[in-house]
Amino acid sequence: MNKIKLSVLSLGIFFASAAIAQDQKPQMTKEQRIEKRMDHLASELDLTVSQKEQITVLSKKSVESRRKIKSDDSLDEAAKKAAMKSIHQEKKAEMAKVLNDEQAAKLKAMKAERKANHQKGHAKKHTHKECHHGKKGAVKSDVQIKEHKNIHSPAVK
């Protein structure tokens, strides 16, 4: 009887360790993520080599600026948010100079699609009347759901 328990226990440990090993993926550095994003954009937008290089420089500059802001303890959250928004607007303006009209339109469509998919996923997550801000599995009333949507769906300007 003890041998059977020991066998079952060792098999359980073996399968658990195999499952954990499969879940571990190597983490990409920020530079690797930028390069992967650039490859994707280059293929989707038919970027020239020059455009890809310019956008890569813009992205790296933006990442570095955001990194500095995040680590700046002299700024409060509102100031950090404003600075991040400013960096984003600058990058967007510079991207507009690099891309032609057709590429800019396609990029805008890609962003709209990504936003729609994100919102669809967010809505799908909350169809069970659950909220990730509350207790797991807590059922929300219709009023709570409406309040939650108001918080997570800011008015479009």
Indicate if 39 and 94 belong to the same structural domain: yes
Whole-number average pLDDT of the chain: 78
Tell which phi-psi region holds residue 28, choosing left (phi > 0), alpha (psi between -120 and 50) or beta: beta
> How many C-beta atoms lie closer than 10 Å to residue 100's C-beta?
13
Indicate if 103 and 134 belong to the same structural domain: no
Residue 29's pLDDT is 83
Indicate if 93 and 150 belong to the same structural domain: no
99-114 pLDDT tens trace: 999 999 999 999 899 8
Residue 124's pLDDT is 66
10-48 pLDDT tens trace: 767 777 766 665 556 678 887 788 788 888 888 989 989
The residue written with tokens 């038919």 in the block is 46
Indicate if 48 and 86 belong to the same structural domain: yes
Q: Which two tokens stand for residue 156?
A: 């479009």
Indicate if 46 and 101 belong to the same structural domain: yes
Cα 14–chain centre separation: 34
Q: What is the DSSP string of 93-123?
A: HHHHHHS-HHHHHHHHHHHHHHHHHHHHHHH
48-68 pLDDT tens trace: 999 989 988 998 899 899 999
111-124 pLDDT tens trace: 899 888 888 776 76
Q: Check pLDDT > 80 for residue 146.
A: no
Residue 84's pLDDT is 93
Domain count, the chain: 2
Indicate if 88 and 46 belong to the same structural domain: yes
- Are the C-beta atoms of residues 126 and 145 closer than 8 Å to each other? yes
- Are the C-beta atoms of residues 54 and 42 closer than 8 Å to each other? no
Indicate if 33 and 102 belong to the same structural domain: yes
Q: Which domain holds residue 59?
A: 28-109
